[in-house]
C-alpha cells in the first residue's frame, strides 16, 4: 500500500487521476483511459514512473513488489490476457466487494467518485512516454500472451490439449465451459455445459455428468495411450 500511495501521489504531478482500491491482500491503484490505448505504451509509463520512484516491481528480477497490468504488450490469436476483477465487482475468493478510498461505501457514491476522475488521453500518454521504452529486464520477459495450448513446458505444443477438440466455449469463473464430447456422443448435454476446463491449465478438465477422461479422450478420437510395461 505504501508503494501504491507513492505512485498515486506522483501521478498527480502529471495531472493523472487514479483510484486506490482495497483488496484481499493489499490494494489496487487503477488508472482510467479516455479511449482504448496500446498496452505497451501504458506499461512503459507505469514502469518508468516506478523506476524513477524506486518502487519495486514483481517479476523484474524480484519476488515481491507491485504488479503491473496488463502484463503483456499483445495477445496472440487464440490466447487470453489477464483475468481481472472489474471495479466494484465481487471478489470470488473473499465473497465481498472492495471499495475505493475517497467516497462513501455505497455503489452510488462510489460510481459518482469514479465518474469524476480525469481519463488519460492518447495525447497525454504519448507525451509521458516520448523517447522511453520498457526496462531491459522487462523486455526480456515474454511480451505476447501465447495461446493456452502453447503455454507451460516446452513439450506443451505436442501434447494433447482438450481445447483443440471441443466446440465453442464460454468462461465461467476460472473455467472454460463447453459441451462434453462423451455426453454428446451418448445424446446428452443438450445445454452444452457439462465439461469444465481449467483456464490456467487445460490438462485439468471434468465432466459434471460423470464421464471419465478416458471416455472424453476416446470420444474425440484421441484415446489415452496405454503405457507398455516390460
Q: What is the pTM of this model?
A: 0.62
Sorted by where each begins, the domain ranges of the chain are 2-146, 148-230
149 confidence band (pLDDT: 50, 70, 90) = low
- Asked if residues 194 and 183 have their Cβ atoms less than 8 Å apart, the reply is yes
Nearest to 78 by CA among 173, 157, 185, 192: 157
* pLDDT, tens digit (0-9, with 9 covering 90-100), for 69-118: 888 888 887 777 777 788 998 877 778 899 999 999 999 999 999 999 99
Estimate the crossing angle of helix 39-53 against helix 122-129, to 10 degrees.
Answer: 50
Mean pLDDT score across all residues of the chain: 85
- For 29-50, the pLDDT digits (tens) are 999 999 999 999 999 999 999 9
d(CA 115, CA 19): 11
If pLDDT is split at 50, 70 and 90, which confidence band does 156 have? very low
Amino acid at each position: 500500500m505504501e508503494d501504491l500511495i507513492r505512485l498515486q501521489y506522483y501521478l498527480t504531478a502529471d495531472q493523472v487521476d487514479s483510484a486506490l482500491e482495497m483488496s484481499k491482500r493489499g490494494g489496487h491503484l487503477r488508472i482510467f483511459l479516455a479511449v482504448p490505448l496500446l498496452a505497451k505504451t501504458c506499461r512503459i509509463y507505469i514502469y518508468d514512473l516506478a523506476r524513477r520512484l524506486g518502487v519495486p516491481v514483481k517479476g523484474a528480477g524480484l519476488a515481491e513488489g507491485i504488479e503491473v497490468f496488463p502484463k503483456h504488450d499483445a495477445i496472440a490469436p487464440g490466447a487470453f490476457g489477464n483475468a481481472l476483477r472489474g471495479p466494484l465487482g465481487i471478489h470470488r475468493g473473499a465473497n465481498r466487494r472492495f471499495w475505493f478510498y475517497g467516497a462513501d461505501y455505497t455503489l452510488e457514491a462510489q460510481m459518482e467518485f469514479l465518474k469524476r476522475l480525469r481519463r488519460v488521453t492518447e495525447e497525454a500518454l504519448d507525451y509521458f512516454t516520448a523517447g522511453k521504452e520498457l526496462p531491459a529486464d522487462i523486455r526480456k520477459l515474454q511480451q505476447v500472451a501465447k495461446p493456452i495450448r502453447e503455454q507451460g513446458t516446452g513439450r506443451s505444443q505436442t501434447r494433447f490439449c482438450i481445447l483443440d477438440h471441443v466446440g465453442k466455449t464460454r468462461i465461467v469463473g476460472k473455467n472454460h465451459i463447453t459441451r462434453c464430447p462423451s455426453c454428446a456422443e451418448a445424446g446428452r448435454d443438450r445445454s452444452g455445459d457439462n465439461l469444465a476446463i481449467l483456464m490456467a491449465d487445460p490438462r485439468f478438465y471434468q465432466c459434471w455428468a460423470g464421464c471419465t477422461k478416458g471416455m472424453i479422450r476416446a470420444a474425440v478420437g484421441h484415446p489415452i495411450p496405454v503405457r507398455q510395461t516390460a
